[in-house]
């Protein structure tokens, strides 16, 4: 049973597989919505699943190395509680938007109730497996929060907004606008330590980590990282890039505050709450920055708004960006989707566009297109 539990934590984490299933359904729902709104998907591949598979493992390797270097030792009761809440959040809750909340709330609950009767009973669940329910330094929970913030900032900076997939919304007066949602989740398998020794008696070659008379056991923690934000007045890429810098800054600040927790007794609660409030302020500031802009990705009366550019299409080779307005196509003024494709048929092998940028500047771009297939140019616009 002990060896089976080890295999479970190293290979078959329920939270990780649940996250993979969730991302699959998220990607499938996005593709179906795009096909309904635009006739075809802007991104036909499930890039959310690809990001989940590659980045979860990559960041898991990074966080595990950092954890080993720091010797992160987390309490058994918290690991069990966090894993259960994370699994529930992944399967039936909005885990992408609550990843940091789950981490912080479970840490604070452990700080307040870890030594209560309930916490003792929860820790006792691990005793048959040789796990020690003893209390561990709270600074390790804070360091895990710091690691999560920094890795999340790096992830958002590198990935956020690169796949501009629009979603159509109707305002109160019926005006159509497009929003760009970043809705992705990672479950990062992070190697941590918990008090106790339940491997070496069965696997003699397994490394033993001892601190004085105490031993610790390595386990993989399913660390949730996720974000769900929709941008209406700026590109998701620009908004998320600024947000990522703030997340990394909060994480760096947390490194210095960790020393305060180590030196000053009772400072864990205010430090964690302060960092979490800063995290929430960054989310609110990012949303406010988007809402305060005067620009909308909206349908226009003169010209055709560009909502997306499909990869590996003729449009991807043109100097055209999301938010631009196509004024003329092949020297013909266009004000709707049907007029745009009708103008494309004037020259079935070449496309010449006059474009107005969101800043009001005019530019000209052109490219060859697939013969007789104007709908495959790769420009996504509002449908008639």
Q: What is the pLDDT of residues 47-85, one digit of tens each?
A: 999 999 999 999 999 999 999 898 888 888 888 889 999
171 found inside a domain: yes
Which domain-ending residue is among 247, 269, 291?
291
Q: What is the pLDDT of residues 208-267, one digit of tens each?
A: 566 666 677 788 899 999 999 999 988 899 999 999 999 999 999 999 988 877 777 777
Domain residues for the domain of 77 are 2-291
Q: What is the chain's mean pLDDT, rounded?
A: 83
For residues 90 and 225, membership in a common domain is answered with yes
For residues 154 and 21, membership in a common domain is answered with yes
Which of 74-83, 135-144, 153-162 ranks highest by mean pLDDT? 153-162
For residues 211 and 359, membership in a common domain is answered with no
For residues 282 and 208, membership in a common domain is answered with yes
- The pTM assigned to this predicted structure is 0.86
297 found inside a domain: no
Question: Average of pLDDT values for 110-125?
Answer: 63
DSSP assignment string, 324-355: -EEEEETTEE--SHHHHHHHHTTSTTEEEEEE
For residues 196 and 341, membership in a common domain is answered with no
For residues 213 and 280, membership in a common domain is answered with yes
Domains in the chain, number: 2
Q: What is the pLDDT of residues 79-114, one digit of tens each?
A: 888 999 999 999 887 778 889 999 999 998 888 776
| β partners of residue 352 | 366
Question: Average of pLDDT values for 279-302?
Answer: 89
Beta strands in the chain (DSSP E): 166-170, 176-195, 209-211, 214-231, 304-305, 308-309, 325-329, 332-333, 350-356, 362-368, 379-380
For residues 54 and 154, membership in a common domain is answered with yes
CA distances from 376 to 73, 224, 314, 358, 369 (A): 55, 39, 8, 25, 8
Task: Give residue 171's pLDDT band: very low, low, confident or very high (50, 70, 90).
Answer: confident
For residues 245 and 362, membership in a common domain is answered with no
Question: Average of pLDDT values for 26-46?
Answer: 89
Task: Give residue 158's pLDDT band: very low, low, confident or very high (50, 70, 90).
Answer: very high
């Amino acid at each position: 049973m002990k060896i089976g539990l080890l295999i479970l934590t190293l290979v078959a984490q329920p939270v990780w597989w649940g996250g993979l299933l969730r991302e699959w359904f998220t990607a499938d729902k996005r593709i179906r919505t795009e096909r309904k709104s635009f006739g075809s998907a802007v991104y036909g591949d499930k890039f959310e699943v690809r990001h989940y598979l590659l980045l979860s493992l990559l960041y898991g390797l990074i966080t595990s190395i950092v954890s080993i270097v720091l010797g992160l030792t987390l309490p058994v009761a918290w690991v069990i509680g966090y894993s259960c809440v994370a699994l529930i959040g992944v399967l039936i809750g909005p885990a992408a938007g609550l990843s940091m909340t789950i981490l912080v709330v479970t840490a604070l609950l452990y700080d307040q109730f870890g030594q209560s009767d309930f916490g003792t009973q929860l820790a006792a669940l691990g005793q048959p497996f040789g796990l020690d329910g003893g209390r561990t330094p709270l600074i390790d929970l804070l360091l895990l929060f710091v690691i999560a913030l920094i890795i999340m900032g790096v992830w958002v900076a590198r990935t956020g907004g690169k796949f501009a997939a629009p979603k159509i919304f109707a305002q109160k007066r019926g005006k159509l606008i497009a929003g760009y949602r970043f809705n992705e989740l990672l479950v990062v398998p992070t190697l941590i330590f918990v008090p106790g020794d339940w491997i070496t008696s069965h696997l003699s070659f397994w490394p033993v980590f001892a601190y004085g008379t105490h031993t610790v056991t390595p386990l993989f923690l399913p660390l949730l990282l996720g974000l769900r934000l929709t941008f209406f007045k700026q590109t998701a890429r620009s908004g998320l890039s600024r947000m990522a810098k703030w997340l990394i800054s909060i994480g760096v600040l947390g490194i210095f505050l960790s020393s305060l927790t180590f030196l000053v007794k009772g400072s864990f609660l205010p430090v964690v709450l302060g960092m979490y409030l800063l995290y929430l302020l960054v989310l609110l500031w990012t949303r406010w920055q988007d809402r305060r802009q005067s620009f909308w990705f909206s349908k226009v009366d003169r010209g055709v708004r560009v909502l997306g550019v499909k990869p590996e299409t003729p449009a991807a080779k043109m100097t055209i960006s999301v938010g631009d307005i196509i004024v003329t196509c092949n020297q013909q003024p266009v004000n709707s989707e049907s007029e745009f494709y009708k103008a494309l048929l004037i020259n079935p092998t070449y496309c010449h566009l006059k474009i107005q940028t969101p800043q009001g500047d005019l530019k000209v771009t052109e490219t060859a297109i697939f013969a007789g297939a104007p709908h495959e140019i790769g420009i996504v616009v509002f449908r008639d």
